[in-house]
Structure formats: C-alpha cells, structure tokens
Structure 1
Amino acid sequence: MCGIAGFVGVVDEDAIPMLRRMADAMVHRGPDGEGYATGREFGLAHRRLAVIDRETGDQPMWTPDGRHAIVYNGEVYNYRELRYELKTLGHEFVTNSDTEVVLAAWREWGDRAFDRFNGMFALAIADTESGNVVLARDQFGIKPLYLATAPGGTVVFGSEFRPIFASHLIPRKPDDTTIYRYLRFRVHDDTARTFFDGISRLLPGERAIITPDGTIQRETYTTLFSDMRELAKRREPYNLVVASRFDVELRTAVRRRLVSDVPVGTALSGGLDSSTIVAVTNDLLTGADRDAAAVGRHQQTFSAVFPGQLNDEERYVDALAERCRHSLRVHKVQPHADRFLAELGDFILTQEEPVISTGPYAQYCVMRQAARHVTVMVDGQGADEMMAGYVPYYLVYLRQLWRSGRRGRAARELASSLDVLWRLGRFTVADRINRRSKIPVTSLLSRRFVQSHARERFDVVNDDLKARLQDDIFRHSLQSLLRYEDRNTMRFSVEGRVPFLDTGLLRHLWRHDDEMIIKSGWNKRALRDVTRQLLPPMINRRRNKIGFTTPEEAWFRRMKNSLHEIFTSESFGRRKYFNQAAVVQAFRSYLAGRSSAETMTFWRLLNVELWMRTFIDQDPATIRHDIENILEDAENARPGMHPQAPPKDDYVPNGGKNLHTPDRRWARYPLRCDLVSKGDSIAALATARVEEFFEGLPGASPEALIPVDAAARWYLYVSEKIVAISQGRSFFTWEVHPGWWAKRLSRHVVKTPHGIGLGDPTTMQLAIDEIGLGRILVASGASLAGKAVGKRGLFYQIAGPGVRAIDGPTEYSAYPANVSAKLAPADPYGAAGRISAAIRARLPESITRRFGGTVIIDANDIGQNILGHDTGLPDRLLTAAFVDNPLGQGRQQTPLAVVFTGFPVSVWDGQDDQSTPVNPAYSGDLALLDAAGDEERQSSGESGAS
C-alpha cells in the first residue's frame, strides 16, 4: 500500500523539488521509502508502505527496456497466477512484487490487463517516448486517485488532495454543487466531482490517458458493470450447491487477502460481515493454511466498543471471541466524545472531504490501535451493498416483487419482514406521537444557495434490488465508505483489505436468483447459510443492523456547548451556505426536545464549516504541526478540559501577557485549573492551587521570578466567572428565553471585540430578571440623556455593578463561558472572606502573615470591575493590579492569580518581616499601600489583615 502523485506537462520549476513536496504531503501513506521518476514533460512520485517483497519492491519501477515507469498503490491478489501466465509468454521477473507483474501485464495486454486484476489499485504508467501517462483505478474504486488541470494546462494527480495542493499549481476552492448535494441529499463520492472545485476523482473501473499538452481521455475499461446487468437477468436458482460454491469463493477471497510479508490483523465490529472474516481466518489458521501465515499464531482483532450505549456491540465481539478463544487476541478501544473533540482537527484533515456522520471516527480509533500491532487490516466492508445489508433494501425488494406481479410472494416477504421494517419507521411514529416538528434541511441553508442549486437531484432505483445494489456498490454509499477506510487506514500507515469486494465472489452472487440475497425476511441469505455452523447463533441470526458508528446522539448532547460555539461563530455566519439564525434556533430546539432533527443534519453543517476552516481558509500543510501537538494532549483528554487550552507553568505569564504591570508595581502569577461546575467549592479550589503555587517556588526557574522585596504582601485575585458558575448563576444560552424587551434593548448595546456585555438578548434578559425591567429602562433613558450632553457611564451607575458584571457568550473563551451567560456572583464580599478564611486555615503562618486578602474581580482587556474583597484597600489600588488583565481573554483557564506588590528574593522562610532589607525601588509603593490600607481600615472600622 502506498501513495502516488505526479504531473503531466510543463512546470516552471525543477520537477524533483515539486515531486518531493508532493511526496512529503502523503508520507503517512508510505513511511518505508520514496522514489521519483521524470521524463519528457512528466514526473512521478511514490511513497511506499512495504507489504509484499519488502526488499526489492521499490518504486517507481521500470520495464527492462527503460521505456515505461510505474507508480502503483494497492495489491493485486491474483498476481502469482498472472506471473505464471506471463512467464509462459516470455516475460522475465527480477522481483517477487506484484508491482512488476502489474507493469508486465500492461505491457502484454494493454488496458485490457486492468480487468484481469483481482484486487485494489490506483496506478500511473508513464511512457518516456510519447510523454503520455496512463492512470487507472480498480473496478470497485477501493483505492483513490484524483486529478486536476492547472491554469497553464499541466495535469496534476495524486492519491490524496494534499499532494495535489503541494504542487503549488492547483488553487484551493470549494465546489458549491458538491457541498449542496452533501448538505441537501446526504451524498458524496457519487460522481467524479469532489468538494474541491476543479479536482475530479477517477471513477471505479476507469482509465485516463493524459498527453503532454494536457488532453485527458477518460473511459471505463472494465466489463464488470455490463456483465453484472446481464448476469442479473439469468436468475439461476439458489440451492445448496450454489451456497457451497459461494462458500468456496468467500474463503478464496479471504485467503488471498491474508498474503503478506508483514503482520495482518482483522477488524471486528461484532456484525455478521466482520465476524465472518474473523471466523474464516480462524478456520484457515486452524488448518495451518500457508497463505494465512502472516496472521501469526494468534489472530489479532480490533474493535470499537461503547459500554452502556445503545449501539454497543461488545457482547457480540465477546461471543465470537469465545467461539474462537484459542486463536484470538482481542483489542478493544473506547472512543469518547471528549477525545473526539480533541482529535477533530486531525480527523478533518485525515478525511480531506466531509463525511456523512461521526461514525468514521470509530474506525479512525480502531486503526490507530491496530497500527501499534499490525501493518495490514482485513475487514468486512462491502457486504452490505452486495447482499442488501441495510433495511431500505427490504422495501426495494418488496416493490420489485409487487411490480413484477409476484404479489403473493411480496405479501409473504412483508409478513416476514415486519419486525425489521418497524425499526425503520419507529422514530417517525414516535415523533408524531410526541408532536415534535421535523426540520427540513433546506430551511437551515441560505435561500440564495438553495435557489442557485434548485435543479440538483438525487435519484435512486427503488424497485429493482440488484440494480439498486449495483448503483450503491459503484456509485453511491460504498464509495464514501471506501474513502473513509482508505483515509483512516493510511493515516496510521496501515493497509486495509476488503475480501467481500472480490470480482469472482460478486459475479457468482449476481448470476443467481435474488433469493440468494433476501428470502423469508432474511437478508444476506447466502452468507447466513454458509456461516450457520461457523458463527454463534446470536451473530448469524441477528436482525438489528447497527453499522460501524458512534453513539452520536449521546455525544452531541455532551458536545453541545462546543457545537453551539461553532454554529454561533462569526466564520459560520459568514459562509454563503448557511442560515445561521435558523441553524442556532434549530439546534436549541433539538437540545430542548422540541424537534426531531437528526444529529447527522447538524454534523453535516458542522463538518462543512470545519472543512472550510481547514482546507479553504488556510493551507492545510501549515496546520499539521499544531494538530500533532493537540493530539499529544488528546492522549490524556479529560471531560470538560478544552482541547485547545495549553498547559501553563504557574510561574510564567499567559501568552501575550506580562508578569508585572507596566509600572512594575504589581507582579501577577495566573494559576490554571480545571473547569468549574455548579456546586464546586471555590474556597477549596483556590486554597489547593495557592498551596501548590508556594510549594513550587523553591524549584521555580529564576528567570520566571521578579526579584524584589521579600517583605511584600500578596493577594489572591479570583475571576467572578468561576464564583458565579459555582453558585449556579451561569446559564447556557439556550436555557434563557429572552422576552420582547430584551430583544429590543440588546440591539442598542455596542459590542466590542473584548466582550458582548448586554449586547445579547440572553444577557439583557438576565439583567431584567436581576433588577427589574423598570430600573433597566430608567438606566437606559439616563444613558441616552447623558450621551446627549457628553456624559457617559450613567447606565451602570444606575443599574449597578451587578449588572455591569453580567457576561455574555464569547467564542474565544474557554467552555462554558463560550456558550453561557452569567450573572454577577451573589454576595461577592462574603465569598472573598470565605476564600481568605480557608487559605489562612490551611497554609502555614509564614505565608499567611503576608497575605493581604482575596479580591473578586470582573476583568477583561478594556476594564476592571471590583465586585468584592476583604483586603481593606481602596478599589482604585486593587484595579491597578489588573490594568492589563493578566488572566487573559481567551481559553487560558487561569481564573486565579497570586498577586504581589513585588516578589521575594528568597522563598518564604518563616523569618519575620524585618529580617530582610527592603528593596529601595519598592519602598515607596509599600508605604503607599500601607497608608491606604490604614486609612481604609480607620474609616470602615475593620481590623484588616496584616
């Protein structure tokens, strides 16, 4: 398995550097080697994943006369038979690789050779005399190949899009038609078009000849499609002899795909198809079959499980493992929503185009785990499309029987299939009973976007079973699944093999009556018959098709805050595809249970947005390093921790911030902590973090410390956000229902890049609920009157600091601040006192005697608002410490700060305050603070804290 790329035509730069860039963009497809070939106006690049003939199978590979060169991605499983035949025709071979056989076969038979290959392949063969390059893709389209014509006429091709972009010849532009069909009809990979404007895919069974002048001649080389249509007319009876032959074909297909010079494993979902592959492989191992040697003594299987979820299939995995208990080593992975969020960037980059649902992420996780143990993975992809594995196929078959006049048979099949068909319609019935509204996809899209693509259609065969299956194999659903598998396997340098996609097996199935596929309410009839003794009954007789997916409903509710952030983001609103207001409202209705919108609908919207950010808004080549760093953090992803929040040492500032104020009177040390929830004790959290801070001082880097006075006092500053959240005074935006006044008044509030304030209906409604509509209206009127005479700030003088502290959702903040609105903390002075009391009770006296108290502050990059404190100092001095907001304005997750009027030269040592000389540079500041503190305490009658 490999990656190929190249060009045909004239390029302005030296060809080799360009080819190297293209190869480097797909190094994951072939970490074992690279190779290049250039000729008359063409260039070929290859990255190798060595699976067969690891010693002598390097590419590009040349014919003995040096005229033709090939780069090839895939495996031709009947290469040994072809090699023998070619030898009888006079060909000589110097390697044991299938690549050399493929090239020799093409030299012998031309394009007709492609239809003789049983396997998977995408290849390019260059002719040094004519300069022509031939591209070809296997009959099923298992291996991908893309091509595009540059503005100057040069044609560029590759196994993925990134090598094409790495040529610097092809611009990155979205294809709006493909995006519309994906959003509207939930389809993709069904035509030659891709999500990138100007880049097309070579279709299954297609060959293209590219000439140096940029001409592309494309045509279907295979006869498989027409043969299937003719075979379907024969309808030979299905019987035990036919079933026996099917069993032989199936075992042959599996055996061929186990041949390898590297370890082979199997994917096991727990369904009928993958279980069959595992069980057949187990039989081959038991019989010491030579072709299965690469599997090893014990077959290694890899499964995604979701304990406690409706789609969990672990019990089926365990049942098969019990049946094959002497030969299996079962590896299980448990994908979860938090890690999915952390890895979403890499998943988008891996797939290169949007996907239908989050389901392919489960396969992504399985392949990552498999890569730690094997290099080749075999699975059951394709059986559903070949043998009617999905419930809608029952309806197609019933219509076919009715249309053809076999109505008695149709009635019997309907009666036998009622339990399966009920599962198809139960959600629609439930929605009608619960009166949940259906949300049309088009209502979530821009009206202009919908109108411009109104002529697009997606039609399917609905009354001819084999015609429908053939369409789904070669044009519709299977093509997208094969793309997912190719990207997920190759992302982790694993070769994926699919035994069911075997031309011999397919032809045998197609020449017989449809009863071989569906009979008496049972789909995959032949497969069930030949595995009746091979599989546990709970697998062989399963009727509930789940598929390789994730618990998407549960995940979306867990991820709802991050999804809401994306849907409400500025970039989402700028896209010409979406009706942002309708999407946000629909998502909120879905969360509240008022609509029956599918999670896959929201996923498609989300996926397009993230794909645009990754591939269109920026060069994907520039973000790989950042994603690799995120993936390292994802290994330890925890619920609630935002995946983009980087860790921070206690003794360094936040990014873009300083440890000290511009006037150098205050030193601030932001402390990072986990996210806070309702009911958490801020006093306990603050005390623990402050204790950690002082315990770490002896080992802190000297460069991180500001060497000033050892006698300086220190204070703890606490963001009002976490206090409000812990008190239950933070509300997700969809939990607040703005009234008429809130919607109208919020329109007149000026929003800034630093915060939304009351400029959102949700925050305005909170303000109304907090102090009453009357006071808000009075404050608004006074504000208008004040502005008329040049006086500002009257609104908050009347509304009060509690209203001033109300925060709205901002997309740059850490969750949950990015999707919530917050009131000011209740009793902030009392909260400050309780935090200080906890600190004094836990920390040693050598530290607490210099502790000046706690400050609850509402700060951002344009202002500070002291809500409560127990320091005895005037607010004007306390705000001076936060003049530049050291806590940050984004995802820093540093809501606490230890703040000094300076920093000790030596670590707290238990000596009294007079033991260390005062630094003259700070003596005046200390005197000012002491004097201010004495004045404040005298006027308030409080004793203060020393």
Structure 2
Amino acid sequence: MCGIAGYYGYGEDESLLQQMNACMVHRGPDGEGIYTQGNVGLAHRRLSIIDVAHGQEPMFSADGETVLVYNGEVYNYLALRAELEALGRSFTTNSDTEVVLQAYEQWGDDAFDKFNGMFGFAIHDRRNNRLVLARDHFGIKPLYFATAGTPQAPTLLFGSEIKPLLATGKIAAEVDERILFRYLQFRIHDDESSTFFAGVQKLMPGEKLVLNTVDSEAGPAGTATISKYTRFQEELAELAKIETPYSQAVIDEYKERFTEGVRLRLQSEVPVGTALSGGLDSSAVVVTINKLMAENAAATDSLGAKQQTFSAIFPNSINDEEKYADAVLARCEGNVISHKILPKPGEFVDDLEDFVRTMEEPIISSGPYAQYQVMREASKHVTVLLDGQGADEMMAGYIPYYFAYLRQLKSKGQNAKLAKELVSSSDILFRLARFRIQGMLSFKKEVGVSALLNKKFTAKYKAEKFSNIPDNLKLRLIDDLFHKSLPAVLRYEDKNTMRFSLEGRVPFLDKEVVKFLFSLDDESIIKGGWNKRILRDATRELLPEMISNRRNKIGFTTPEAEWFGHMKEKIYEIFLSTSFGNRPYWNQDAVIYAFEELLSGKSGGSTMVFWRLINTELWLREFFDEPEIKAGIEGKSDYIPNADKQLEITVPNGAGTFRRYPLRTEVFYKETDFDPAVMKYVKRYFDGLPTAGGDHGEATADTPWYLFVSEKIVAMTQGRSIPVWDIKVSNAARIFSKFVTRNPGGIGLASPWSMQLAIDEVGLPKIMYASARSVIGKLQGKSGVFYEVVGNNINAIDGAAGYQVGTSTHSVKYAPIDPDGVAARLSALVRASVPAEFAATFAGTAIMDANDLGVVALGHDTQLTKAVLEDIFRDNPQGQTTETTPMSLVFTQK
C-alpha cells in the first residue's frame, strides 16, 4: 500500500515530483522514489507490506524499458507469478509489484483484468511510447488526474490524492459547483468521474487512461484516452440472469470462496488486524479469521498469536454496538485481543479540520469520523486492517433495497411471493411506518436543504437530477456498487486508513466471490424478509445468534444527532462566521434559524442537512480560502498600531493630540480573572519601554495618559455575555430585528438574539415606543432617536460577531455593569502597578464601546469629557476583528 503521483508534459522536473511526494508521506512512510524520462515523471511513497526488504519503486523491468509505480495489493499474485514462470519469466523479488510489472510486459493491458485485488498504478512503457494509468475493478484504490496545458502542449498530472495535484501550482483550485450542488441537494457524491475540484477527475472502477508520449498513429503526443479494460460490470449483469437456485451446496461454495478471499487478504509480512463494528459483515470477517487461525491455515502467521480487533463504542448512545461486538469476541475467546475506542464530540471538534483535510472532498455525514478514530488507534498496533466494506451493496444491506425487491416482484407479477415477503418483512415495514407516523403526529416541520440554499445557486443547476433503479434488485446493486453508494464508502476507507499509514483490505470485494454471488437466485440475497441471506447462512455456525439474526444496521458511525447538541458552540461559530455568511451557496439567516429550531426540538429532520453545510464550509476554508491571521499575543508589538490604523489622532476644539498604543492580549473569556489580566498587559507595556526604541516613550513620562478598555471584555468577565443557544428568541424579536439595518458581524440589534436581549432589558413596550419615535425622527431628518429613548445600555448590546474571536463569535453581550466603578477600580490598580513616574501622570480609565460604526464612552474616572474621550477613539484604533487588542494606553502629546 502506497501513494503514487506523476505527470506528463513538464520535462524532467525532479523538484516537482518531490513536491508532490511531500504531500503523501502518510501514505508511504517507509520509502520514496522518483523517476523522470523525457516528459514523463513518476513519484512513489512506500508502505512496506509484502517483501519488505525489496520491492522498492519506481520498479524497472529487466531491460529498463517498462517503469511502474503502484499503489495497492494484488492478492492472486502468487498464482499469476506461477503462470508467468511457466511462460519462461523469472523474478528477482517476492513482491506483488514485480508480478504486476511482468504481467503487463507479458499481456499488455489485458493483464489488468487478471488482477484480483485493489490497485491504482502508472506504467511508463518506453518501448511503446505510452503512459498507462489504471484503477482496480471496484475502485478500492483512488487515482485522480487533471489535464492542463494547451492543445499544442498538453499536460497531465495524476496522484493517489488530490493534494499532490494542487501542490504543483500547475492547476488552479476551483470549486466544481455542479458537483457541490448535487452533494448539497441530493446528498450524493463520488458517483461520476468529476470531483468537487473543477478540472480534477478520477478514473472510475475498471478504467484505464492511456497517453501517447510521442506522435503516433494513435494521435499526437499528449493525447489521452480513457476506456474500460474490463467487462466486469457487464459480466455481473449477465450473471444475474443465470439465477442458480439456492441450496446447501450453494451455501457451502460461497462459504469456501469467501473464506479463501479472507485468507488471501491475510498475506503480509507486517501485523494484520480486523475492524469489528458489531454488525454482520465485520463480525463475519472476524469469526472467519478465527476459524482459519484454529486450522493453522496459510497466511495466518501475519496475525500473531491472537487476532487484534478494533471497535468504536458509544456507551449509552442509540448508536452503540458494544454488546454485539462483545458477543463476537466471546465466540473468539482466548484467540483475540480487543481494542475499544470511545470517540467523543469534544475530540471530534479538535479533529474536525484534520478530518476534513483527510477526506479531501465533502462527505454526507460525520459517520466516517468513527472510522477515523478506529484507524488512528489501529495504526499503533498493526499495519494492515481488514474491514467489512462492500457487503451492503452486494447483498442488499440497506432498507431501500427491500423496496426495490418488492417492486421487482410486483412488476414481474409474482404476487404470491410478494405477499409472503410483505408478511415476512412486516416488522421492518412497521418500524418505518411507526417512525413516519410519529413524525407526522409531532407536527414538527422537517428541515429540508432546499429552503436553506441560495436561490440563485439552485436556479443555476435546476436541471440536475438524481434517481435510483427502482424495481430491479441486482441492477440496483450493481449501480450502487460502481456509482451510487460504494465509491463514497471506499473513499472514506482509503482516506482514513492512509491518513494513519495503515493498509485497509476489504475481503467482501473479491472479484470472484462477487461474480459467484451475482450468478445466484435473488433469494440468495433476500428471502423471507432477511437480507444478506447467504452470508447469514454461511456463517451461522460461527456467529452468535444475536448477530446472525440481527435486523438493525448501524456500522462504524457517530451518534451525530446527540453529538450536535454537545458541539453547538463550534457549529454556531461556523454558521455565524463571516466566511459562511459570504458564501454564494446558502442563506446564512435561514441556516441559523433552522438550526435553532432543530436544537430546540421545534423541527424534525436529519442533522445530515447541517453536516453538509458545515463540511462544505470547512472544506472551502481548507482548500480555497487564504489562511486566516491567527489571534494571539504574537506578531504585534505594544508600540505599533494595528494594520491600517494610526497611532496618533488630533481631537478637534483644541483638546489636543493623543497617541494610542493598542495592547494585544490573549482572548478574554467569562472565566478570565479580569483585574490581574488587565494589569498583566499594562505592566508588559512599561517593562518593554527601555528596549522599545525610537520615540515610543519620550513624550509619556511627564504628560497625562489614560487606559482605554473595551466594554466587551468587561461585560464578558462579568458574565454579561450570553451564548445564542441560551437565548429564547420571541417572534417579536425576530420581527423587530428585521427593521434594523444590517451591519458588519451583528453589531447592534440587527439579529434576533441581540434584539431579544434589548427586549429583556427594557421591555417590549419601550422597544415599540422607541421604534415609533425613530420612524418619526427619520421623517424629521433626525438620527439616533431610537437609542436616545432606550438608552446607551441598549446601544452597547453587541450581537454575535463571526469575525471576532473566542466566545464573541457566538455570544451576545449586554452592556457592562457599573462601568464608572470598573474604571475607578482599574485606575487604582494601575497606579499601584506602573513605575512611579508614570503613576504620577496617570489620569484615569475609560470603558469604551467602540466599533467601526460609532463610539460611546460608557464610563470613566478621567477629567476629560465623554465627547473628548469619544473623539479620541472615533477611528476605532483597536480594530474590530481578530486583532485581539481590547485595551489601549493613550498618551497626551506635548
């Protein structure tokens, strides 16, 4: 298992290959190699699994004319090697890589269809002047590519991930908005060759890309063609018509084939383990391995003395499957070591950015994070992990498949069988009906994504459609195997395993086992209301009855609905952010209101709607936005202004000139010990004066000076900052907030939350009266009448501001309590803390409500008038975004 990358059309550029390789260290920490010749470049990262001592890549043929970089495992390589040796070929390594290379030399592109495994590789065939890329039959291993250049000088970039392509700087990172729309609207992705990145495509399962490296009859140099190298999908559709009757002999043959498929995937020179969710599929793999170990079967030495299993558990959650996993472990008692991982919502918040980066493209739910956690832990113990992916799509593991089968019986006129199936599956159908009836009786409005999306965006792609094959079970399964369902699951598998340098193997996706399954009667898949019938029967003697007869499916997923309540602070931070509000894909206000309704229980629906929005926003930040300037004390001296601000200001009416030094601080929270925190930064300023240089201190020792403090940090530490989810917004607040002019980041009463606080503070009648007076005032040409009526305490209420930092992003703040008293208290502390010569000239503290729209001095103990204090800060020198400079020292100039 490895990572590959490469190019055509950029000459012999080793630095470009090294740049691509550097993005994939996690895919292959055991080695790397690069190759250039003419216009072709290949790069490889190695995770050593088979023939650890050899098999380095790029690998060259004996004559040096064929060069291979390869990601994956071909499990039937020993049989192919024997076949090639019988044809007179000899081998210098024991690796499957050399088998792939020599198979291509022997059979050309026809070799690819002989491989049973997972692969994405590139071959530079110098003899025939071609570059060949190929992806395995199921698309277990990814292979992305992008064409660029000009018709006269075409180029190609390719890789196991998208990041190496972007890292070259040869293609622009742009959103494929059509794919994004399909994801947001229909909850689908990975169903076609296009990715979420405009211009970046992927080979689909069973496809190859052939590029001419010189002018030839096939076309000019750089001409690339994509085609299938296999009829595998067509073969499955043809086999589906055979419908071999179900029998014990069929069950026995399936068991034998599946067991051999599992055994082949134990071939390794490094430790192998197993993922165990507690569902039928992963449990079947675990008990089959346990049986092979008991029989001392070939290849089981890779497991060590005991099989190691890895399970995600969620105690007391509806998603928890621990009791099922424990039942399987009990069956394997004495031969198994169990590792249980307990993912938590707080960990998810911490890992969120890395998780999004790992996936590279948006995903439909947070469920794969459970797998991410499992893979992280598994990588500490093993290098290869078997998983149960693929069984659902080939054996109707999801409930919608029941309906496809029932419709199929109806369309074929098999009414007697249809009636029997309806009766046999009545418990499933009843459960679904009960959930729907409960939803209707609750009178909760379902949260649909359409109402949350930007109308211009949706109008642009209104022609996009999505549908499933409705009434043919096996054709539906084939469609889902190669387009609608499994490709996304395999992406999660590849990204999560390789993020932690782990090889994931999926024994259900054995080409020959799947062919056999599709040649059987439909009743091998669904019968009597039971799906996965043949798997249940083939493993019944190995599995606990509670697994064999289990109806409900969960799998490796997170309790997303429960987690979202715990994660609301992070989610609001995302939804309230300036970047989220500026996206052209959704309506920010509608999203926030819908999320409020969901959390409060006033509406129903799936959290996956909101996850898609969260995922998209974080994905856009990760791959497209410029990096944000991180808040903190680093990066700005106490003696320089904030960006685009000035130190000095001259106040009109002869009040003088003042120099303002904004002090960068850590973020203040409710728990911050306010007085010592303020003094810490005041003291830091004076401690730094001797080394400040220039005139930073010359005019300050014998002139009056002041401390200006933002009302935000005062209110915050007084507990006057209220998280938006704790504010019960009334209809009146929603209505009145709509009449307030929108302004940057929710300053003032333009949000329902801040308006609600204003109503709570002075009462609805006064708000109504002030609004009426304001309307009359505007007709008379007056401004500010509303706040004259309600008072400066209401003027000082700040809404949740997405561009700010800390809890300010998702909290609404009242005016601070007793700002005059706070000013006097701080002044006494300043005089006791600063050098004596500065204590003598200290002239007091002001508590300021300043933003880019206006300034109000809420309280002070200085000899200056409020008008002068407000003039000193009229240009808001402390900034209003992530500067984290909530206080300033202000010196009168001579």
- Give the C-alpha shift of residue 134 in structure 1: 1.4
State whether residues 561 and 815 of structure 1, in contact with CA within 8 Å, keep that contact through their aligned partners in structure 2: no
Counterpart check, 1:7 vs 2:21: no
2:811 pairs with one of 799, 820, 823: 820
1:228 pairs with one of 218, 229, 236: 236
Deviations 1:123-164 (A, max 9, x none): 111111342111111111101112222132212222121222
- Give the C-alpha shift of residue 90 in structure 1: 0.6
Aligned to 2:533: 525
TM-score, normalised by the number of residues in structure 1: 0.80
- Give the C-alpha shift of residue 326 in structure 1: 2.1
Aligned to 1:742: 736
Aligned to 1:140: 138
Cα–Cα, structure 1 residues 186 and 782, in superposed 2: closer, same or farther, change >3 Å?
A: closer
2:26 pairs with one of 14, 25, 28: 28
Structure 2 CA distance for aligned equivalents of residues 247 and 436 of structure 1: 47
- Give the C-alpha shift of residue 700 in structure 1: 12
Cα–Cα, structure 1 residues 869 and 282, in superposed 2: closer, same or farther, change >3 Å?
A: farther
Aligned to 2:66: 68
For structure 2, list consecutive stretches of 5 or more residues without a partner in the other structure. 214-220, 649-656, 834-838
Aligned to 1:303: 311
Structure 2 CA distance for aligned equivalents of residues 539 and 700 of structure 1: 69
Aligned residue type for 1:809: A
Cα–Cα, structure 1 residues 873 and 451, in superposed 2: closer, same or farther, change >3 Å?
A: closer
- Give the C-alpha shift of residue 785 in structure 1: 8.3
Structure 2 CA distance for aligned equivalents of residues 89 and 53 of structure 1: 23
2:568 pairs with one of 536, 560, 572: 560
Aligned residue type for 1:17: S
Aligned residue type for 2:812: A
Aligned to 1:99: 97
Deviations 1:16-46 (A, max 9, x none): 2222222222222122222222234322221
Structure 1 CA distance for aligned equivalents of residues 759 and 634 of structure 2: 41
2:355 pairs with one of 347, 350, 353: 347
Cα–Cα, structure 1 residues 37 and 666, in superposed 2: closer, same or farther, change >3 Å?
A: closer
Aligned to 1:251: 259
Question: What SS is found at the alignment partner of 2:603?
Answer: coil
Structure 2 CA distance for aligned equivalents of residues 575 and 860 of structure 1: 24
Number of aligned pairs?
860
Deviations 1:521-548 (A, max 9, x none): 2211222223223223322222111132
Aligned residue type for 1:387: M
Aligned residue runs from structure 1 range 521-600, under 5 A: 521-600=529-608
1:314 pairs with one of 312, 317, 322: 322
Structure 2 CA distance for aligned equivalents of residues 654 and 274 of structure 1: 62
Cα–Cα, structure 1 residues 879 and 348, in superposed 2: closer, same or farther, change >3 Å?
A: same
Aligned residue type for 2:185: R
Aligned to 1:198: 199
Structure 2 CA distance for aligned equivalents of residues 489 and 555 of structure 1: 23
Aligned residue type for 1:540: S
Deviations 1:63-89 (A, max 9, x none): 111211111110001111111111111
Cα–Cα, structure 1 residues 671 and 120, in superposed 2: closer, same or farther, change >3 Å?
A: same
- Give the C-alpha shift of residue 518 in structure 1: 1.8
Structure 2 CA distance for aligned equivalents of residues 168 and 715 of structure 1: 48
Aligned residue type for 1:206: E
Structure 2 CA distance for aligned equivalents of residues 269 and 820 of structure 1: 39
Aligned to 1:940: none
2:522 pairs with one of 498, 510, 514: 514
Deviations 1:478-509 (A, max 9, x none): 01100111111111211111111001211222
1:49 pairs with one of 40, 44, 47: 47
Counterpart check, 1:379 vs 2:387: yes
Question: What SS is found at the alignment partner of 1:475?
Answer: helix
Aligned to 1:417: 425
Aligned to 1:905: none
Aligned residue type for 1:37: Y
Structure 1 CA distance for aligned equivalents of residues 208 and 60 of structure 2: 20
Cα–Cα, structure 1 residues 703 and 262, in superposed 2: closer, same or farther, change >3 Å?
A: farther
Aligned to 1:183: 184
Cα–Cα, structure 1 residues 315 and 406, in superposed 2: closer, same or farther, change >3 Å?
A: same
Cα–Cα, structure 1 residues 741 and 124, in superposed 2: closer, same or farther, change >3 Å?
A: closer
State whether residues 304 and 335 of structure 1, in contact with CA within 8 Å, keep that contact through their aligned partners in structure 2: yes
Aligned to 2:107: 109
Question: What SS is found at the alignment partner of 2:72?
Answer: strand
Structure 2 CA distance for aligned equivalents of residues 161 and 243 of structure 1: 42
Aligned residue type for 1:528: R
1:801 pairs with one of 769, 773, 792: 792
Aligned to 1:457: 465
Question: What SS is found at the alignment partner of 2:45?
Answer: strand
Structure 2 CA distance for aligned equivalents of residues 162 and 148 of structure 1: 12
Counterpart check, 1:773 vs 2:767: yes
Cα–Cα, structure 1 residues 341 and 646, in superposed 2: closer, same or farther, change >3 Å?
A: farther
Aligned residue type for 1:776: A
Aligned to 1:475: 483
Tell which deviates more after alignment, 324-333 or 45-54: 324-333
Structure 1 CA distance for aligned equivalents of residues 688 and 435 of structure 2: 59
Deviations 1:657-681 (A, max 9, x none): 69x99799999977647843xxx7x
- Give the C-alpha shift of residue 417 in structure 1: 1.4
2:408 pairs with one of 400, 414, 430: 400
Question: What SS is found at the alignment partner of 2:172?
Answer: coil
Cα–Cα, structure 1 residues 592 and 722, in superposed 2: closer, same or farther, change >3 Å?
A: farther
Structure 2 CA distance for aligned equivalents of residues 199 and 384 of structure 1: 29
- Give the C-alpha shift of residue 100 in structure 1: 0.5
Aligned to 1:918: none
TM-score, normalised by the number of residues in structure 2: 0.85
Structure 2 CA distance for aligned equivalents of residues 308 and 607 of structure 1: 27
Deviations 1:864-905 (A, max 9, x none): 65545799998799999999989874568898x8x999xxxx
Cα–Cα, structure 1 residues 656 and 272, in superposed 2: closer, same or farther, change >3 Å?
A: farther
Aligned to 1:337: 345
- Give the C-alpha shift of residue 782 in structure 1: 8.8
Aligned to 1:908: none
Cα–Cα, structure 1 residues 610 and 329, in superposed 2: closer, same or farther, change >3 Å?
A: same
- Give the C-alpha shift of residue 687 in structure 1: 7.0
Counterpart check, 1:732 vs 2:724: yes
State whether residues 710 and 850 of structure 2, in contact with CA within 8 Å, keep that contact through their aligned partners in structure 1: no
Deviations 1:613-645 (A, max 9, x none): 332345xxxx6xx9xxxxxxxxxxxxxxxxx98
Structure 2 CA distance for aligned equivalents of residues 578 and 668 of structure 1: 37
Structure 1 CA distance for aligned equivalents of residues 19 and 719 of structure 2: 55
Counterpart check, 1:127 vs 2:125: yes
